[in-house]
Amino acid sequence: MRFGSEEYLKKVMEVTNSDERYSEMVRNEDATYTFLIEPEPENGVRDGITLGYSMKGGKMVDIWLGERETDFVISGRYGIWVDLVTGRTGVTSAFLQRKLRIRGEFSRILRLSKPTEYWIQLLRRIPTEFDGIYSRYNIG
């Protein structure tokens, strides 16, 4: 399924909510997130993707495409998101190297780095098709 599509988001929610270890790791973290995935026309990624989700009591309770006001906004070029999902880079590295930018309480995001790294490992279970030159990193 295409990275960032509605179908993909539904699968992300299913995989996230079915993992008890992850639920336990984030059980006290209620927050909303927006991901701004910036286009890279020079690499065959013409359109950006804006998506979001809400976590409550260790579960993903809502997903959406488009913008909403959220607690955190995390943005970066399409390629860095591919690198995260495929395991070519880690979340903490991406933040510290400023490849991902954040609006929201940075210390809270850093505190969640271990659960986030685990969550991204879960996402690797999802068959994923990437756009442009990144199609060589498709999963499954």
| CATH-assigned architecture of domain 6-127 | 2-Layer Sandwich (3.30)
CB 76 within 8 A of CB 101: yes
Band (108; pLDDT cuts 50, 70, 90): confident
Residue 84 burial by Cβ neighbours in a 10 Å radius (0-12, 13-18, 19+): buried
Angle between helices 113-123 and 6-17 (to 10 degrees): 120
pLDDT tens per residue, range 32-80: 999 999 999 999 999 999 999 999 999 999 999 999 999 999 999 999 9
Domain ranges of the chain: 6-127
Q: Under DSSP, is residue 68 helix (H, G, I), strand (E, B) or coil?
A: coil
- Torsional sign, CA 89, 71, 118, 2: negative
Full-prediction pTM beyond 0.85? yes
pLDDT tens per residue, range 68-106: 999 999 999 999 999 999 999 999 899 889 999 999 998
